[in-house]
Amino acid sequence: MARPRRKTDLPVSEIRRYLEPGPIVLVTSAHGDERNIMTMGWHTVMEFTPSLVGCIIAGGNHSFGLIRRSKECVINLPTTALTDQVVGVGNTSGVEIDKFEKFKLTPETAQHVKAPLIAECHASFECRLADGSLISKYNFFIFEVVKAHVAASPKHPQTLHYTGDGVFMTAGKVISRRSQFRPAML
């Protein structure tokens, strides 16, 4: 059972720690009196400062319209404690249901955007659309992360990594090679 996590601020230039390993994420959105959650696996960090994240949001998703119109979203990081919720969110449509209610996820007020944070996630990154020039051709949104909330522990959360076909790889052992890095590469 997943419970709300208490979070602290992380400098937005450091979100690569959580997104570069490639986890599936839950993207929340809001526009007018509608809100929604979608799963997303196609995303990449693009820059440290400004803190940019590029991602694909397919046009068929109810969230696509909410995000394109509001120009905002929150990228939330679930762990294996939320596996069933991740699968449920990915296999339902926000046209028909309120996914917060259906999957017992707790919306929290964000600081800079109207889209809600998901309290049970390990981290939440508030995003504003920075560049929409590739939306019409590729459904590719470039967001700037304007605020990052992260649970203090564990340091390496057990994230979910989607491989297709209903199968997830989960985060395994952590290994450090820090001593082999040139300082400029850290």
Interaction site with its own copies (CB under 8 A): 14, 16-18, 20-23, 41-47, 52, 54-56, 80, 83-84, 87-88, 90-91, 133-134, 138, 140, 142, 156, 158-159, 161-182, 185-186
**If you compute the radius of gyration of the chain from its CA atoms, what whole number of angstroms results?**
16
Nearest to 86 by CA among 4, 23, 156, 148: 23
Smallest separation, CB 6 to its own copies (Å): 22
Cβ distance to its own copies smaller for residue 47 or 108: 47
Residue 137, judged by CB atoms within 10 A of its CB (0-12, 13-18, 19+), counts as: exposed
Cβ distance to its own copies smaller for residue 8 or 176: 176
Give the span between the Cα atoms of 99 and 71, in whole angstroms: 21
Cβ distance to its own copies smaller for residue 30 or 160: 160
Smallest separation, CB 108 to its own copies (Å): 25
Give the span between the Cα atoms of 115 and 111, in whole angstroms: 10
Smallest separation, CB 109 to its own copies (Å): 29
Smallest separation, CB 32 to its own copies (Å): 27
Give the span between the Cα atoms of 81 and 44, in whole angstroms: 23
